């Protein structure tokens, strides 16, 4: 059953190779289009990048609220703080059951395995919810409800990781993530320099090429925080309650099958995770966040690659290669200035960058099948994606490092800067009085009170400006007119303290032809809706 035998298997392998060559060299049908600069068109789906970012941040906001309020029950006080600056990990640990949570160098403010149980003992509210009235055991219905929320949380978490960690993974790849070592396999979640990292070894072409590609996906801190809280404080209680339920039923008091997987079978119904389930959850969440438009796994993969090509620099763009090749560390075209200097230094030492990474100066945190340069490139790709999605933690890190670094900006950064300059120029060239009459559709209206002086100050770039005006004094004109002059070239954010006033403001903007959207981090009213 090998080549060179001139038998049926040889004929079959030749046909397969020929077919594969045709497939790899035949472009697929295109589905992506762009409208008005940042509106993506995919078959019958269309949304702007602002709408896409809103979906992402709405999802993360719901995840955080569900975890903090419904799983950790921290409604009147914040959860225990994660010691980000003092998190340690040891990738060389291979003991069964070991994870970064057990590294003795990290000083956790509370003990995760006992935190929830101690709160139940001391907080009457949790006692009433989980403990039977006579104190003899836990309330089984309460445990079942808690398990259902855990399943719902993990569903949303799978979407958040799939969308926000960088290039989207394949379903089996994400489902294979382990948070602690098993008897046969090591974990896939690590802590690296203050970031939660998912390291997967799944590769679509493994059974053909026998070549495992190690893929690093870094989570923005806003999502990494949720992963750590869940593994540190919630999962121990889940496993304790699983053992308790089995003990009550007369079964062996174990914590269930595949417990080392983040997406292990659901604790309530033991429903298995699969690519089909991930696809349906992704469709459900995108329908909520994108006004009923459902994205499946393949659709999102196409869309993510299209967005990255449109808005990210070449070295950070997502690749459409079905083999998901790792970055080529010897390719000068994908290097920044620091990368080229390191490449030259390796050549000067009479070896390539790949040999330098696999044979010299190896660090204990490096995976056996990859190099430090690979890992750094994966990190850059993930962080560029986080930055594009608008995660605050990545923006702060970017702003802190920007002054001392030479980094080619992403196309979306260039476009944003150009649009900001154009918007300022348009406003500066505008005749305020004429623009106001044009916006209102009347040649007889005029600015009154402090409206004129304040708008002139805005026009000339004075900042900050504080305008104190009475109710009905025309404060809304101060931000409506600049937004109307700028059209679609920029964004104006208005903080409105009253819900009724917010609705009135939205209606007025629509009448004046000013595109507007109400931002709501919890579109389901701040409470988890089981129907979704």
| Assigned token pair, 136 | 């003899």
Residue 233 is classified by DSSP as I
Sign of CA dihedral 206, 208, 210, 216: negative
- In the 3-class helix/strand/coil scheme, how is 355-374 assigned residue by residue? HHHHHCCCCCCCCCCCCHHH
Q: Looking at residue 362, what is its pLDDT?
A: 40
Q: Which two tokens mark 462?
A: 């004075």
**Tens digits of residue pLDDT in 467-499:** 998 888 888 888 888 888 876 556 788 888 787
Cα separation, 284 vs 288, whole angstroms:
6
In order along its 532 residues, the chain shows pLDDT tens digits of 666 777 888 888 888 888 878 877 777 677 889 987 788 999 899 998 988 998 999 999 999 999 999 999 998 889 999 999 999 999 889 999 999 999 999 999 999 999 999 999 999 999 999 998 877 789 999 999 999 999 999 999 999 999 999 888 888 888 899 999 998 889 999 999 899 999 987 655 544 555 567 888 999 999 999 999 999 999 999 999 999 988 888 877 666 678 899 999 998 888 889 999 999 999 999 999 998 999 999 899 999 999 998 888 877 777 765 444 445 555 555 555 555 555 555 544 554 555 544 444 444 455 555 566 778 888 888 988 999 998 988 877 766 665 555 567 777 777 777 777 778 888 888 899 998 998 888 888 899 888 999 999 988 888 889 999 888 888 888 888 888 887 655 678 888 878 778 888 888 888 877 777 777 654 443 443 333 3
Alpha carbons 171 and 168: distance in angstroms, whole number:
9
The Cα 103–Cα 87 span in angstroms is: 9
pLDDT of the residue at 371: 61
- Nearest Cα to Cα of residue 270 among 283, 280, 279, 261: 261
Residues 19 and 288: their CA atoms lie apart, in Å, by: 40
User: Which tens digit of pLDDT belongs to each residue from 92-144?
Assistant: 899 999 999 999 999 999 999 999 999 999 999 999 999 988 777 899 999 99
What pLDDT is stored for residue 381 in this prediction?
87
Distance, CA of 69 to CA of 47 (rounded, Å): 31
What share of the chain in percent tops pLDDT 70? 80
Burial of 230-248, coded b for 16+ CB within 10 Å and e otherwise, reads bbbbbbbbbbbbbbebeee
Contact 198, 187 (CB under 8 A): no
Strands 215-218 and 195-200: antiparallel
Predicted local distance difference test score (pLDDT) of residue 530: 36
Q: What is the pLDDT of residue 156?
A: 96
For 291-337, what is each residue's pLDDT tens digit? Answer: 899 999 989 999 999 999 888 887 777 776 544 444 555 555 555 55
Answer yes or no: are the C-beta atoms of 69 and 226 closer than 8 Å: no
Closest CA to 179 of 287, 94, 99, 279: 99
CA 227/CA 56 separation, integer angstroms: 16
Q: Residue 487, by phi and psi: left (phi above 0), alpha (psi -120 to 50) or beta? A: left
Look up residue 416 and give its two tokens: 């944003």
Please, are residues 3 and 10 in contact by the beta-carbon 8 Å criterion? yes
Per-residue model confidence (pLDDT) at position 527: 40
Average pLDDT, the chain: 81
Q: Where are the chain's structural domains? A: 32-109+140-202+216-311, 316-413, 414-511
**Per DSSP, which regions of 120-214 are E strands?**
189-192, 195-200
Residue 403 CA, distance from chain mean position: 26
* Separation of CA 135 from chain center: 42
pLDDT, residue 531, reads 32
Distant-in-sequence, close-in-space partners of 101: CB < 8 Å, separation ≥ 6: 108, 112, 231, 232
The helix, strand and coil proportions of the chain, stated in percent and rounded to the nearest 5, come to 50, 5, 45
């Amino acid at each position: 059953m090998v080549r060179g035998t001139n038998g049926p298997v040889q004929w079959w392998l030749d046909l397969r190779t020929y077919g594969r060559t045709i497939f790899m060299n035949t472009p697929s049908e295109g589905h992506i289009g762009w409208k008005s600069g940042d509106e993506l068109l995919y078959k019958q789906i269309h949304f702007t990048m602002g709408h896409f970012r809103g979906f992402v941040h709405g999802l993360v906001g719901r995840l955080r609220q569900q975890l903090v309020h419904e799983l950790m029950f921290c409604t009147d006080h914040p959860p225990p703080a994660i010691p980000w600056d003092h998190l340690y990990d040891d990738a060389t640990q291979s003991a069964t059951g070991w994870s970064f949570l057990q590294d003795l160098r990290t000083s956790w403010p509370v003990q995760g395995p006992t935190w929830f149980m101690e709160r139940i003992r001391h907080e009457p509210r949790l006692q009433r919810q989980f403990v039977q009235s006579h104190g003899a055991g836990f309330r089984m219905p309460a445990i079942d409800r808690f398990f259902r929320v855990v399943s719902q949380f993990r569903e949303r978490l799978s979407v958040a990781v799939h969308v926000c960690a960088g290039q989207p993974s394949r379903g089996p790849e994400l489902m294979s993530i382990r948070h602690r070592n098993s008897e046969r396999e090591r974990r896939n979640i690590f802590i690296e320099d203050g970031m939660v990292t998912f390291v997967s070894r799944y590769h679509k072409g493994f059974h053909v090429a026998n070549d495992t590609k190690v893929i690093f996906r870094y989570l923005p801190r806003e999502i990494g925080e949720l992963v750590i809280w869940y593994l540190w404080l919630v999962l121990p209680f889940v496993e304790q309650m699983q053992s308790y339920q089995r003990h009550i039923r007369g079964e062996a008091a174990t914590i269930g099958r595949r417990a080392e997987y983040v997406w292990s079978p659901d604790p309530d119904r033991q429903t298995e995770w699969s690519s089909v389930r991930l696809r349906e959850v992704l469709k459900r969440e995108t329908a909520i966040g994108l006004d009923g438009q459902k994205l499946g796994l393949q659709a999102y993969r196409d869309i993510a690659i299209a967005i990255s090509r449109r808005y990210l620099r070449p070295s950070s763009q997502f690749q459409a290669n079905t083999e998901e090749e790792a970055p080529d560390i010897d390719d000068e075209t994908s290097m920044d200035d620091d990368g080229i200097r390191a490449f030259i230094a390796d050549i000067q030492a009479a070896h390539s960058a790949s040999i330098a990474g696999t044979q010299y100066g190896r660090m204990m945190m490096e995976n056996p099948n990859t190099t430090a340069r690979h890992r750094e490139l994966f990190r850059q790709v993930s962080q560029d994606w986080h930055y594009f999605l608008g995660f605050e933690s990545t923006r702060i890190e970017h702003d802190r490092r920007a002054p001392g670094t030479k980094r080619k900006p992403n196309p979306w950064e260039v476009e944003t800067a150009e649009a900001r300059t154009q918007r300022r120029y348009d406003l500066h060239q505008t005749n305020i009085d004429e623009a106001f009459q044009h916006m209102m559709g009347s040649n007889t209206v005029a600015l009154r009170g402090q409206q004129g002086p304040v708008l002139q100050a805005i026009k000339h770039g004075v900042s900050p400006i504080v305008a104190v005006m009475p109710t009905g004094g025309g404060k809304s004109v101060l931000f409506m007119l600049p937004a109307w002059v700028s059209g679609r070239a920029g964004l104006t954010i208005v903080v409105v303290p009253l819900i009724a006033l917010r609705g009135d403001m939205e209606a007025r903007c629509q009448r004046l032809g000013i595109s507007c959207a109400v931002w709501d981090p919890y579109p389901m009213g701040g409470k988890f809706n089981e129907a979704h």
